[in-house]
Amino acid sequence: MPRSSLPQHTPSRGGKPHTIRIIGGDWKRTSLPVLDLDGLRPTPDRVRETLFNWLGQDLTGQTCLDLFAGSGALGFEAASRGASRVVIVEKSSKAAVQMRANQAKLGARNIEIAEADALRFASGLAPKSFDVIFLDSPFGDAALLQRALEVVAPLASPDGAIYVECGDPLDPSAIDALAGWTVVREGKAGAVRYHLLRRENEE
């Protein structure tokens, strides 16, 4: 995905669209176009299904933040499952335009799309304002992931969760730096490793 702190990626062979499919909620089975852009890799169906099983499927009334959103697959999935507010942050203007078109197609009033540097945007948000934070920063950039975790941890509500998707095993030192947080679920699908973090006193 295009990410904050990295140059915007360029279209791959013209940036032709392919699709993702929402797998649950009000818009279940709806296909949404996604541009074929270098580095953009929507979270696979299998991983999304597992993640939302962990989260309990129904996100009614919850607030969500999808950083480094790329296709917006996680944010749209959360909105489909009843989240009252989903803030999607993406630096690439092309990807943001496509997500706004998908938002209009769905009539998704619970989604806000910000075309911005993810960490700068997140730094301006109110503490404890999100129940679920989706964090899918560029694979292979451990320093950026560490910084992103430090920025988003204060944004989580007291019983909130942080989802982390990355290409390598999550460095234990990255979690140790977040006082009071621990990995409560994790999995692997192909090159994708994914983790759910909660505060230790919540599990």
Q: What is the pLDDT of residues 71-81, one digit of tens each?
A: 899 999 999 99
Res 3 pLDDT > 70: no
Task: Check residue 53 and give its pLDDT.
Answer: 96
Superfamily of domain 17-202: Vaccinia Virus protein VP39 (3.40.50.150)
Task: Check residue 201 and give its pLDDT.
Answer: 66
**Residue 106 — very low, low, confident or very high, per pLDDT cuts 50/70/90?**
very high
Instruction: Find all residues with CB under 8 Å of 198, minimum gap 6, and list them.
Output: 159, 160, 161, 162, 181, 182, 184
Among 26, 14, 23, 171, residue whose Cα is nearest residue 94 = 14
Task: Check residue 8 and give its pLDDT.
Answer: 31
Task: Check residue 195 and give its pLDDT.
Answer: 95
Helices 73-80 and 93-106, packing angle to 10 deg: 20
Domain ranges of the chain: 17-202
**Residue 171 — very low, low, confident or very high, per pLDDT cuts 50/70/90?**
confident
pLDDT one-digit tens code per residue, 124-143:
999 999 999 999 887 768 88
Tokens 């404890």, residue located: 128
Among 115, 125, 150, residue whose Cα is nearest residue 135 = 150
Task: Check residue 140 and give its pLDDT.
Answer: 66
Among 71, 22, 19, 69, residue whose Cα is nearest residue 45 = 22
Res 13 pLDDT > 70: no
Amino acid at 128: K
Residue with the bigger pLDDT between 4 and 82: it is 82
Q: What is the pTM of this model?
A: 0.87
